[in-house]
Amino acid sequence: MENSKTQTQQATVMTPKELLNHWQGHRGLTRRTIEAFPEKEFFTHSIGGMRTYAKLIQEMLAIAGPGIKEIVDGKTAKFEEFDYQNKKENYLKAWDETTEVINEYFPKIKLEDFHKSIKTFGQYEGTVLSSIFYFIDNEIHHRGQGYVYLRSLNIEPPYFWEH
């Protein structure tokens, strides 16, 4: 009984729906960051030998959709960055398509599977939960870098708090 009560109370920490909203909230902010880049600099600007923001977004796109599909389907995903033909609009389109993929697949994760061990893309060991957090945190990390790129171009990035 005591155990059961503890379990039920732990339910209050985070629900799947909240985790999905947390992820999509961040993805909305990242989308606004893509929009803030001038077409040219999105593909050319970099600092300290780092990847362009387009390349960082390519990585995020290569992770999010295939990653959530892998979590649900159980089939090892291939890490593959796609060619969006150097057009920002194609990135935004792919971003929105990924939003739909996540909304479709995420609710299919069984509640009891969030702590299941997996190896995403055949190499990153963790649980379903830690993998999803890695996807999110990696995006926040690189988006923060995009903010520096924007600032160095004298462009005001979107407001961080408001996601």
E strands present in the chain: 117-120, 124-127
Which residues within the stretch 137-156 sit at the binding site for its own copies (CB under 8 A)?
137-138, 140-145, 147-154
Select from 4, 75, 83, 162 the one that contacts its own copies (CB under 8 A): 4
Q: Is 1 in the site for its own copies (CB under 8 A)?
A: no
Select from 11, 83, 85, 162 the one that contacts its own copies (CB under 8 A): 11
CA angle 126, 127, 131 (to 5 degrees): 75
Which residues within the stretch 57-116 sit at the binding site for its own copies (CB under 8 A)?
111-112, 114-115
Least separation in angstroms between residue 160's CB and its own copies is 6
How far is CA 62 from each of CA 5, 24, 135, 158, rounded to the nearest angstrom? 41, 16, 10, 23
Give residue 47's region: left, alpha or beta (phi > 0; psi -120 to 50): beta
Q: Are 38 and 146 in contact (CB under 8 A)?
A: no
Nearest-angstrom CA–CA distance, 26 and 22: 6
Please say which residue, 51 or 87, places its beta carbon nearer to its own copies.
51
List residues binding its own copies (CB under 8 A).
4, 6-16, 18-19, 22, 26, 47-50, 111-112, 114-115, 124, 129, 133-134, 137-138, 140-145, 147-154, 160-161
